Structure 1
Amino acid sequence: SLTVSSTKLIECSTNSFSPESVQLVDGAGLCSGRVEVKSNQSWASVCEADFDRQDAEVVCRELGCGAPAALQGGLYGEGEGQTWDKEFQCKGKESLLLDCDTSDRKNKTCLPGNAVGLTCSEPDDVRLVGGGSRCAGGVEWYDQGEWRTVGAADWKRRDVAAVVCRQLGCGSTVSVPPGNTTRGIRVYCEGDESSLRECFRSYDLHPGLTVICSDLLVQPDIFLTDPMGGVSRAHQGPEMFRGYNFTITCSTQPQYPGGSFHLTFTGSNRTQTQPAVNHSAAFLFPAADDSHQGNYRCVYDNYVFSHNFSSESELLSLTITGN
């Protein structure tokens, strides 16, 4: 949305990227097949019990496909290699499957017929390019086998931009900077359509359309580090013993330089602020006591494209235990 001694430490940080980490095999194309993950230079099938809808959303996004359409064990065979030995715990917003948290598998064996198969919908036919975010940049439409520049008449630019932001799930329009004249697709929308496919189009010279949408920044991550180096994520409901120090870290993917993190604490309506250094910030706390119990959230703010943007992490609910 737009705006936008004993010690404890809360940190925000980025995840590492691992190209070509997942594939769908034995399906009809790139966007369907048995889920396989690269492990030690070989590919391993994933058991259905270790994979859910949120994991599927990340895989489909990583492969450049649309949303998950079907998820079923044994749908595309078993494969002949090993089975992935972890359970994925994606939130659904990650860019890469190997950015997701994992845990040890509850079941040590994966029965025949349980290798998970995934079918993603076909890729979106509209994208924003060159803006450092999937929610900002020049509009392109996949048409007749190639990506073509999209433009609009001056009096229709805001209407077309509204449809683009809606179609991409990127919130509302923030700005529509002027573009250079080029040949491509001229689009005429009323502004309430769900996708550009519902708008009238023609092929001629026009100023290319650039769109900045409100959901520009990806959701930041939040995690807690204890004195022994253990890391707890928001969904794990971390606990901390009284008297021990801890750190809460806020982090985001490296979209844009700069920005700042605000760590909010609902227990006392306190907010701490630090600049984002290498896309993260660490908040150090004194010895834990009951006053530290409550809900923490990272809010990432940045000023880009002449506007203020912000994005919030999940809530991290901290419980204080012990004497």
Structure 2
Amino acid sequence: MSTFLFSLCPSALPTLRLVDGDGNRCQGRVEVRFRSTWGTVCDDGWDAINTDVVCREVGCGLGLELKVGSFFGFGFGPILLDNVRCKGHEDHLTDCFHLGWGGHNCDHNEDVGVICSGADSHGHVCVHQGQWLVGGQHQCEGRVEIFTQAQWGTVCDDSWGLADAQVICRQIGCGEATHAQGEAFFGQGSGTILLDNLKCSGMEASLQECSHIPWNIHNCDHSEDASVTCTLL
């Protein structure tokens, strides 16, 4: 039996994630975060050592396979890293050598992905909680995605409104909420739908403090993913 001790991570939000892995958090396209913006990693020079560093960082054991040529689909937004060369001892992919943030000669058909062995079978796992916006034209608009208990997921648009959007905008360091879009306005997410029937007053410090039905309970599909547009500060 696998045993985990979960606690809230002392650091801020994660700087690396695996996405579009068909519901498996231990496989997918590699995405990194830089200054509140998520982006992809080019597959130039990618090897098994890099894969091991990624899998270890996300708590998913050993690297089994590296996947080049956008195996897990094209990403959106900037290509943030290229020619990554890890030695294997690094705690974070961003500790490895690379060309510098945003330096690359790729497009999204070279987005790299990995397949890991699976969640670590023992030890301590810290849990990040937060949310980000995906698929917009800038960091302050997009589909709402929440990270909690080691998984990313979306929010259903049932009862979604400007008060809910305002909580998101404030928490991610953006300005006022101008739109609270539904019906997957910025594209459909993948994986779990984590929250439904949110009812925020607009004063909450985080979306998780708002009234909602229990986690992972919903009557939606991803065609109802909620989105927001906030002003840029």
- Output the TM-score relative to the length of structure 1: 0.31
- Output the TM-score relative to the length of structure 2: 0.43
Task: Please say which structure displays the higher CA radius of gyration.
Answer: 1
| Bigger fraction of residues in strand | 1
